[in-house]
Amino acid sequence: MWSDETITSYLKNVIECRRQTAFERQHVLLLIDSYGPHLKLRENSKLQRQNIHVFIISPCLPNLLQPLDVAINRSFQQHYSRRYEAYIQTAIEDTSLQTTAGNPRCPSYQMVADWVCEWVKTKTREDITNSFHMCRLVSKAEFTLDKLHALLKVLFDSVLNMDEWNDLYGQEFTVAPESMNLELLQPPEYFIPYDAQEGEPCSFWQCLHRAIYGSHPVVTCKEFRHAMIEKMKGMDELADITDSRYFAQLHSGGKVDEDIVGYAVSQMGRCTIRIQDAADSSFRVIEPNNPAHEMNLVCVNEFYVLKL
C-alpha cells in the first residue's frame, strides 16, 4: 500500500540522493497525483529547502496531464501482459512450472524483474522528453500545439465544442464514489461482531462463523477458525502462497488476508462471498464453482459486519 512511509522512502532514495539535488540544489519539479499522502508534500519545508517543487495534479486529470500516464505506462502494461501471457502458455505445457495441483505457478520475482528491465531498455531519453511535451509541461518558448496529445489539444482549440469533447473523452470519466450510510448498519439487519481481544477471532472470522452456523452455533468461533486453518493447510491451491509462518499468524489472531481466507471458505462451503467497501460502496466477489448459497459482508475501516 502506498503510504507516508513509501513516499518518504521514494523521495530519499530517488530524488534527494541525487548530487544535483543534495549539493547543487538544482530545481526539481515533482508531478504527483492527489492521493492522500501526496497532499502533505506541498507543505514539506525540507523539500522546499532542497528546491523540490511539488505540483499536485487535480483528481480525474492524471490521464490528461501526467506524462507517465499519457505516454509511458500503457507501453509497460502491454509489454508486461505479453510476457505474462507467454509465460502462462509455457507453464500450461511445462510441469516444472506447475503447482502440485497442476496449475501454473506465479512467475518468480527474478523473472518479473527481467521483464521490467527488458522494457526499460526500450525507452529513450527522447521518449520521456516527448511525454512532457505531450502534456505541455515545458517552457513557454518550447511549447508547440502540434505536440499535445489529442485529448489535451482540443482544450486549446479556440472553438471548443464541449459536447464533442465529452463524447470523445466521456469513457474516461468515472463517477465519484459514494460512501455508505453507516447508520444503516444496525441489528437486526446486520450482525455486528464484538471487538476481539488479542488472540481472539477478528470480525472477519466472526462474520464467516455467523453466516455458516447461524445464531446458535454448535462450535465456537475459535474452534471454527482452528478447523478452517487446518483444512487450508491441505489445499493445493494455497501451497505456493502460504507457509507455516502464515498459518501460525492466523492461529494467533493475526491480521486476516480476506482474499486467501475468503477463497478457502468459499471453496469448502460452496459459498459466494460478497464484500462491500463502505468507503465507496464498491464490491469484491469471491465465488467458487457451483455456489450453493451467498453471504454478504460490509467492510468499515477493516472491521466487518454481516448482512443477515
Q: Looking at residue 224, what is its pLDDT?
A: 93
Residues 6+ apart with CB under 8 A from 119: 75, 76, 79, 80
Enter the pTM of the model: 0.45
Q: Looking at residue 173, what is its pLDDT?
A: 45
Q: Looking at residue 114, what is its pLDDT?
A: 93
My answer on whether 220 and 278 are in the same domain is: yes
Question: For residue 104, what is the DSSP state?
Answer: B
Please report, as a single letter, which amino acid is at residue 237.
E
**What span, in angstroms and rounded, lies between the C-alpha atoms of 3 and 244?**
29
CA 238 to chain centre: 21
My answer on whether 111 and 156 are in the same domain is: yes
**177 domain-assigned:** no
Task: Kindly state the cell numbers that stand for 248.
Answer: 501460525
My answer on whether 17 and 91 are in the same domain is: no
Peptide bond into 188 cis (omega under 30): yes
The count of domains in the chain is: 3
b or e along 28-37 (b: 16 or more beta carbons within 10 Å of the residue's beta carbon)? bebbbbeeee
My answer on whether 51 and 68 are in the same domain is: no
Considering 123, 141, 172, which residue would you say is the last residue of a domain? Answer: 172
**What span, in angstroms and rounded, lies between the C-alpha atoms of 124 and 146?**
21
Per-residue pLDDT of the chain (308 residues; tens, 9 = 90+): 456 677 778 888 888 877 777 766 788 888 887 777 777 787 778 788 888 888 887 777 777 788 888 888 888 888 999 999 999 999 998 888 888 888 888 989 999 999 999 999 999 988 888 888 888 787 777 877 778 777 777 666 665 565 665 666 555 444 455 667 778 888 888 999 988 888 888 999 999 999 999 989 999 999 999 999 999 999 887 777 788 888 888 888 877 878 888 888 988 888 889 898 888 777 778 888 788 889 999 998 889 999 99
My answer on whether 69 and 46 are in the same domain is: no
Q: Which domain holds residue 288?
A: 182-307
Name the packing angle between helices 244-251 and 221-233 (round to 10°): 170
H or E segment at 230?
A: helix 221-233
For the chain, the C-alpha Rg in angstroms (whole number) is 25
Considering 114, 149, 172, which residue would you say is the last residue of a domain? Answer: 172
My answer on whether 152 and 109 are in the same domain is: yes
**158 domain-assigned:** yes
Question: For residue 68, what is the DSSP state?
Answer: I
**243 domain-assigned:** yes
My answer on whether 85 and 133 are in the same domain is: yes
My answer on whether 167 and 253 are in the same domain is: no
